[in-house]
Amino acid sequence: MSDSETVLSVLADGVLSLTLNRPDKLNSFNEEMHLALRACFERAHKDADVRAVLLTGAGRGFSAGQDLGDRDPRKGTPDLGHTIETFYNPLLRLIRSLEKPVVCAVNGVAAGAGANIAFACDITLAARSARFIQAFAKIGLVPDSGGTWSLPRLIGEARAKALALTAEPLDAETAASWGLIWRAIDDDKLIEEAKALSVRLASGPTLGLGLTKRAIQAAATNSLDEQLDLERDLQREAGRSADYAEGVTAFLEKRKPEFKGR
Ligand code: T3D
């Protein structure tokens, strides 16, 4: 468990399972939860025993984004640029730069930053009953947590603009068919499937999976030539790994490989 009860953290089978845990507030983010989640992702970066991360929420929601109880305008005007710079942007950078798979299990409503954090993860599954809401438009804000970057890339400008400007809820099936998430899963099977996927990834060649993540993310800004050069360099690195040697040896010996993430 982490020090803060706002994020429950358990490491088992190489998977660091993180549960946002403010269910009475639909797991909306206050400072304590921000700091706790950041500490967990910092651990995931440093701890070699962590080979994959699974992020989900407690109760009936995944996350309703920023805790608006901490933003009462009657008590003064907050500097939201400061809170983005201090809390949301570092979290997004930690998730995207972690060279280990990050699975997200969206167990219920994901609104505002909660939705965009889910879209920043590597493989996002959602309960069939879950909804994604770009709630920012309802309160005069701009999508953050990478939403204006990830939405047009994942689903194109027309759908991105419609979601962001109307704040209409998007159901999990549609999110999957549009390519915003990987799969919609029956509610009662979501955690089981997300855990199985996370354990499978964690027991895989995680060094190579991390390099794959780096390469795919770099494609967003690289030319084809730059990307081909990057693939050459990363393949050279992967080809020197113990996991590659084990993978090929196991294939030749017709047995199951035992990857170590090195
Ligand atoms: O501020 C900055 O630092 C800038 C960064 C901003 C990032 C953002 O995320 S801005 C967007 C903030 N989020 C929202 O605007 C979403 C607000 N919530 C909702 O629109 C709805 O709650 C939902 C559509 C997400 C879910 O609706 P529903 O009907 O299923 O649940 P509910 O009854 O509205 O909420 C249940 C409880 O959670 C309720 O508390 P209560 O009345 O039972 O004591 C509600 O107040 C609380 N809750 C839900 N969302 C938030 C929240 N409390 C605080 N902050 C929330 N965001």
HEC readout, 9-54: EEEECCEEEEEECCHHHCCCECHHHHHHHHHHHHHHHHCCCCCEEE
* CA 182 to ligand 1 center in whole angstroms: 25
* Segment-wise mean pLDDT, segments of 10 residues, the chain, 262 residues: 82 98 98 98 98 98 97 92 97 98 98 98 98 98 98 97 98 98 98 98 98 97 98 98 98 97 95
Per-residue model confidence (pLDDT) at position 65: 98
| Ligand 1 center from residue 24 Cα (angstroms) | 10
Query: Which tokens in the block code for residue 256?
Result: 């199951």
List the helix and strand counts (H, then E) for the chain.
11, 10
> Ligand 1, residues 26, 72, 86: which to mutate, most atoms within 8 A of Cβ?
26
Residues 102, 95: Cα–Cα separation, whole Å: 7
**Tokens for 158?**
């027309």
Domain boundary assignment for the chain: 7-202, 206-252
**Which atom of ligand 1 is least distant from the CA of 113?**
9
Residue nearest to ligand 1 atom 55, measured at CA: 67
Record the pTM.
0.97
Which protein residue has the closest C-alpha to ligand 1 atom 30? 109
**Cβ-Cβ contacts under 8 Å for 137 (sequence gap 6 or more):** 164, 165, 166, 167
Around ligand 1, the residues with Cβ closer than 6 Å are 25-26, 28, 64-69, 71, 80, 83-84, 109, 111-113, 133, 135-136, 138-139, 141, 144
Contact 178, 159 (CB under 8 A): yes
Query: Which atom of ligand 1 is found nearest the CA of 71?
Result: 1
From ligand 1's centre to the CA of 58, what distance in Å? 15
DSSP SS3 for 253? coil
pLDDT at 1: 43
Q: How many CA atoms lie within 13 A of 254 on its CB side?
A: 0
Dihedral (CA of 31, 34, 40, 41) sign: negative
Confidence (pLDDT) at 3? 60
Which tokens belong to 250? 């196991």
Domain 7-202 in CATH: superfamily?
2-enoyl-CoA Hydratase; Chain A, domain 1 (3.90.226.10)
Chosen CATH of 206-252 out of 2.60.40, 1.10.12, 1.10.260, 1.20.120: 1.10.12
d(CA 95, CA 54): 11
* Cα atoms in the 13 Å half-sphere on the side-chain side of 183: 10
DSSP 3-state of 8: strand
Residue minimizing CA distance to atom 48 of ligand 1: 25
Ligand 1 atom 27, closest CA: 109
Phi–psi pair at 13, nearest 5 degrees: 55, 30
**Residue located nearest, by CA, to atom 4 of ligand 1:** 80
